């Protein structure tokens, strides 16, 4: 990589559309530091006032589950249907349950 | 070996169920290659596509038109960046992508190798070129690769103003003086056929089409998309009182579609292979922009390094 390398670190961008809602992943930007990452993200992902708040996270800081392990990884919840309200029988006519 | 067969079966089963493929999923090497090529070509097209319209920003006829054109060209830059990001999720770097563009190794849409000679071309480009792009992009919202699909959803939301502002320019010219109307007709004459070429070679001659459809990268063929564009555009031209430059264009009651004349495929291949009116200048301008921006990137690097050092210093102190 030369000194004119324009790659720069990759930052994942999360935008909150309006207050009270979660930040949602919307893409990524390259930037040399966090301030510029934030500015690039603003220019790129909120040109039409799509956001009230932006997070930028270095892509290298994200740890993700891997698709190969998807079965065993999420398995523990598969045999616990009693975590869902539909698992339970309620007497007829009983409301607000 | 049998593992690859198994993985490919799982991959196909996923596609059959209408699920998306995500970056970390296993995928056939050819699926990856096809998508890197397609997404990067698409990104390059957005970036090179800024030039023919950028050409008219300083000469827009009013402040309103100028602000609109500026916003449109900025959007195209944004589209290019969304798409580069999507391509990078497949394991190619931004540097490699730009290098492929700058060395002429990668292609971009041939439509941007035509000149924008008059203000009416800003109307025709928005109306026809963005109109054709939208038809392709609406389909690509359902493409099987997740990051590409998500980029297309964003892009489609932004595109509709592009087409409308172009048609508005055409409306103004078509309702203007005889000279203005003639200018609009001239723009339509020059842009109609190159726009139809944007959909690519005929299905019978398209070598990438079958895989793309099988893998649900594309959901409709070149000819189907081209037909859709023609069917939608004829009435718009009629409303303008302009004539589409195709004497064979005729409604076919039986097919429920317009019949149209044959595209000049020799011209198509000439432009694809680099012999269009602007191939040379487009690349030259793009490379110059990149090289002239080198000092900005270097300054940003130096600033980031200085700040990182200072922050590290204050942590120690
Ligand atoms: Fe675009
Ligand atoms: Fe556009």
Fill in the DSSP letter of residue B255.
T
pLDDT in tens, B148-168: 999 999 999 999 899 999 999
- Partner-chain residue, chosen from A26, A33, A67, that has the shortest CB–CB distance to B24: A67
Indicate whether A3 pLDDT > 90: no
Residue positions counted in chain A: 97
- Pull the structure tokens for residue B102: 């700058």
How far, in Å, from the CA of B77 to the mean position of ligand 2?
10
Structure-token match 């060209």, residue found: B73
Which secondary-structure segment (H or E) carries A56? strand A53-58
C-beta separation of B193 from B245 below 8 A: yes
Strand arrangement, sheet containing A24-30: A24-30, A10-16, A53-58
Distance CA B111, CA B132 (A): 11
Instruction: Report the pLDDT value the prediction gives residue A6, as an integer from 0 to 100.
Output: 60
Question: For all residues of chain B together, what is the average pLDDT?
Answer: 95
Indicate whether A8 pLDDT > 70: yes
**Record: contact A44-B300, CB cut-off 8 A:** no
C-beta separation of B105 from B171 below 8 A: no
Distance CA B292, CA B296 (A): 8
Instruction: Report the pLDDT value the prediction gives residue A4, as an integer from 0 to 100.
Output: 43
Q: Which residues of B touch A6 (CB under 8 A)?
A: 94-95, 98, 290, 294, 297
Indicate whether B317 pLDDT > 70: no
Indicate whether A79 pLDDT > 50: yes
**Record: contact A7-B22, CB cut-off 8 A:** no
Interface list for B 249-308 with A (CB within 8 A): 290, 294, 297-298, 300-301, 303-304, 307-308
Calculate the CA B158 to chain-centre distance.
13
| pLDDT band at A1; cut points 50, 70, 90 | very low
Which residues make up the environment of ion ligand 1, defined by Cβ < 5 Å?
A: B 46, 76, 79
Three-state DSSP class for B282?
A: helix
Residue positions counted in chain B: 317
Crossing angle of helices B279-292 and B294-316, in 10° steps, is: 30
With a cut of 0.85, is the ipTM above it? yes
Within 13 Å of residue B259, how many CA atoms lie on the same side as its CB? 8
Which residues make up the environment of ion ligand 2, defined by Cβ < 5 Å?
A: B 130, 162
- Pull the structure tokens for residue B121: 């071309």
Distance CA B76, CA B73 (A): 5
pLDDT in tens, B87-105: 999 999 999 999 999 999 9
Instruction: Report the pLDDT value the prediction gives residue B207, as an integer from 0 to 100.
Output: 73
Work out the widest C-alpha separation in chain A, in whole angstroms.
74
pLDDT in tens, A20-30: 999 999 999 99
- Pull the structure tokens for residue B84: 């580069």
How far, in Å, from the CA of B39 to the mean position of ligand 1?
13
**Record: contact B307-A64, CB cut-off 8 A:** no
Fill in the DSSP letter of residue A13.
E
Distance CA B198, CA B132 (A): 7
> In this complex, is the C-beta atom of A7 within 8 Å of any C-beta atom belonging to chain B?
yes
| pLDDT band at B17; cut points 50, 70, 90 | very high
Distance CA B290, CA B74 (A): 17
| pLDDT band at B83; cut points 50, 70, 90 | very high
Instruction: Report the pLDDT value the prediction gives residue B256, as an integer from 0 to 100.
Output: 97
Collect all residues with Cβ–Cβ distance below 8 Å to B54 and sequence separation of at least 6.
B73
pLDDT in tens, B248-305: 999 999 999 999 999 999 999 999 998 999 999 999 999 999 999 999 999 999 999 9
> In this complex, is the C-beta atom of B78 within 8 Å of any C-beta atom belonging to chain A?
yes
pLDDT in tens, B50-74: 999 999 999 999 999 999 999 999 9
pLDDT in tens, B173-221: 999 999 999 999 999 999 999 999 999 999 988 876 788 889 999 999 9
Instruction: Report the pLDDT value the prediction gives residue B316, as an integer from 0 to 100.
Output: 63
C-beta separation of A45 from A51 below 8 A: yes
Domains recognised in chain A with CATH numbers:
10-62+69-87 (3.10.20.520)
Distance CA A32, CA A7 (A): 9
- Mean pLDDT of the A6-17 span: 92
> In this complex, is the C-beta atom of A10 within 8 Å of any C-beta atom belonging to chain B?
yes
> In this complex, is the C-beta atom of A44 within 8 Å of any C-beta atom belonging to chain B?
yes
Question: ∠ CA B213-B217-B223 to the nearest 5 degrees?
Answer: 50
- Mean pLDDT of the A43-71 span: 92
Q: Which ligand is nearest to the CA of B126?
A: 2
> In this complex, is the C-beta atom of B160 within 8 Å of any C-beta atom belonging to chain A?
no
**Record: contact A33-B303, CB cut-off 8 A:** yes
| pLDDT band at A74; cut points 50, 70, 90 | confident
Collect all residues with Cβ–Cβ distance below 8 Å to B195 and sequence separation of at least 6.
B111, B128, B129, B131, B132, B229
Residue among B95, B58, B50, B42 at smallest CA distance from B77: B50
Collect all residues with Cβ–Cβ distance below 8 Å to B179 and sequence separation of at least 6.
none
Instruction: Report the pLDDT value the prediction gives residue B1, as an integer from 0 to 100.
Output: 54
Indicate whether A65 pLDDT > 80: yes
């Amino acid at each position: 990589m030369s000194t004119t390398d324009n790659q720069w670190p990759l930052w994942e961008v999360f935008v909150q559309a309006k207050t009270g809602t979660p930040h949602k992943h919307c893409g990524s930007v390259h930037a040399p530091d966090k301030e510029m990452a934030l500015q690039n993200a603003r220019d790129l992902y909120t040109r039409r006032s799509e956001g009230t708040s932006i997070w930028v996270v270095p892509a290298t800081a994200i740890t993700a589950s891997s698709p190969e392990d998807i079965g065993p990884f999420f398995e523990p919840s598969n045999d616990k249907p009693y975590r869902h309200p539909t698992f339970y029988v309620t007497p007829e006519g009983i409301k607000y349950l | 070996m049998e593992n690859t067969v198994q993985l490919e079966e799982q991959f196909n089963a996923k596609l059959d169920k209408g699920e998306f493929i995500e970056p970390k999923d296993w995928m056939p090497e050819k699926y990856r290659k096809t998508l890197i090529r397609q997404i990067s070509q698409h990104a390059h097209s957005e970036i090179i596509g800024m030039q023919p319209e950028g050409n008219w920003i300083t000469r827009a006829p009013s402040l309103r038109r100028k602000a609109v054109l500026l916003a449109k060209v900025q959007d195209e830059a944004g589209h290019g960046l969304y798409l580069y990001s999507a391509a990078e999720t497949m394991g190619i770097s931004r540097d490699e992508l730009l290098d492929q563009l700058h060395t002429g190794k990668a292609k971009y849409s041939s439509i941007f190798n035509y000149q924008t000679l008059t203000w009416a071309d800003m109307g025709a480009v928005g109306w026809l070129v963005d109109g054709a792009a939208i038809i392709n992009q609406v389909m690509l919202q359902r493409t099987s690769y997740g990051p590409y699909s998500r980029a297309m959803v964003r892009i489609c939301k932004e595109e509709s103003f592009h087409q409308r502002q172009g048609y508005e320019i055409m409306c103004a010219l078509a309702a203007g003086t005889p000279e203005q109307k003639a200018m609009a007709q001239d723009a339509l004459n020059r842009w109609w056929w190159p726009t139809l070429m944007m959909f690519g070679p005929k299905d019978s001659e398209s070598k990438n089409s079958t895989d793309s459809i099988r893998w649900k990268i594309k959901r409709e063929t070149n000819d189907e998309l081209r037909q859709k564009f023609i069917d939608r555009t004829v009435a718009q031209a009629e409303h303008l009182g302009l004539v589409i430059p195709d004497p064979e264009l005729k409604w076919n009651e039986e097919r429920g579609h317009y019949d149209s004349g044959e595209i000049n495929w020799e011209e198509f291949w000439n432009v694809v292979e680099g012999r269009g009116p602007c191939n040379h200048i487009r690349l030259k301008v793009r490379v110059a922009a990149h090289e002239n921006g080198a000092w900005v990137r270097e300054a940003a690097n130096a600033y980031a390094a200085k700040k990182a050092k200072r922050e590290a210093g204050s942590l120690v102190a």
